[in-house]
Amino acid sequence: MVSLTRREGDYPFVNQNAIQEQLKSCEAPLRGFETLVYLVCASMQRNGAYDEFEFTADDEQSLLDTLILSQWEDRAWKGQLSFDVTSCETKILGGKNLTAQLNEEWNSYFLKEFERKAFQPSGGIIKPSYLENNIEDIFFCVARGEMEKSVFFPITEAPQDGILIIVNINPVEYGHIFLVPYCNYQRTQCIARAIQLITNTASEVNNSSFRMFYDYFSAMNADRTYFQASYFANPLPVELLPTIPIFGTSTDEIYIQEVSDYPLNTLVFTSKNLKKLADIMGEICWTLQHLNTVFNLLISDCGTKMYLFPQVHLPVTGRHLHTWECGGYFVYSRSSDFSDVCELEITQRLASVSLDTKGFQSLKKRCLGITDKLA
């Protein structure tokens, strides 16, 4: 078996007593769990010169990409998804390409239901019962490997920590999956640590259609860290807009930009050094969580580009936007809503959750400070 290095001591959450307790109480959910395992290779830096400056899509389907797509298509073919999302009509609104989708079978409570089903109420650990009852939904597990190349093990015991790839049967687009980080020896899922392997996964998929999402709406989410991903062959509307640079370094080439002319104030972080980018975003997300900020993260371009969408707090009756909505893609479950929707309506919706100028300046300053410290 391949040995995996532990990465303790980096973050303040690790508590040795808690580990002992956990091991004793057998809360480690994936202990003894057998699944397909994909081990990511040791180096995270995206080498191949200027891969991301592409005229066209990447040259060939990667192994991880093939695994995800084949498993998803398999579930689709077997009828295990709630609906065929590709049969849903979409339309483009206005010059910014804001997109609306009509799906009368869309379940807007699905994510809450998933969280309730999958996570222990007390903390961010996956329920063993979830694993037992939903074994069909679990594709495979991604974990860190120590070897030069990424490898794939058909069936073996799940590693001590990694990411479970689970099908989302209520997809927003083709290939919609959950990526749930887990750790057998640590109670809380730390966002900063999760982002490292998540970014690594994006890079390994190596498909510019593959987009990853993270929603943070409240303190409860900090305990239930999970990501989502889906394939959008066209970029999300926000990705097509011009940006204003506000930061750049000469060494690790971390760039921060602000999206211009978009109703939702948005920051973009890009870098060729994925490890550094993940470090910085991890720290920023952790900080924002502790400041009780509502935000979303969109990871695109094979892990080299990250959009940060901060949102205002809403009254109890309000609903925060999911990441794909922040990006300009909205799903409507009522035919009349879909027919009536126009660019102005979506623009207003985005603007209604956006930070105001003062709040956004303050956030920018904080992000710049963190980036500068770590870059």
Minimum distance of other proteins from residue 60's CB (angstroms):
6
Is residue 306 within 8 A of residue 280, CB to CB? The reply is no
By CB under 8 A, is residue 186 in contact with other proteins? no
Binding segment (CB under 8 A) for other proteins, from list 134-142, 178-186, 283-291, 362-370: 362-370
Q: Is 374 in the site for other proteins (CB under 8 A)?
A: no
Q: Which residues, numbered 312-341, are part of the site for other proteins (CB under 8 A)? A: 341
Report the nearest approach of other proteins to the CB of residue 153 (Å): 9
Nearest to other proteins of 13, 174 (CB atom): 174
Q: How far is the CB of 82 from other proteins (least distance, A)?
A: 16
| Span from 61-69, 118-126, 184-192, 324-332 in contact with other proteins (CB under 8 A) | 61-69
Name the residue nearer to other proteins (CB basis): 21 or 146: 146
155 binds other proteins, rule: CB under 8 A: no
Q: Does 231 bind other proteins (CB under 8 A)?
A: yes
Size of the site for other proteins (CB under 8 A): 70
Binding region for other proteins (CB under 8 A):
50, 52-61, 63, 65-74, 77, 84, 86-94, 97, 151-152, 154, 173-175, 209, 231-234, 240, 242-250, 253, 255, 260-261, 270, 341-344, 361, 365, 368-369, 372-373
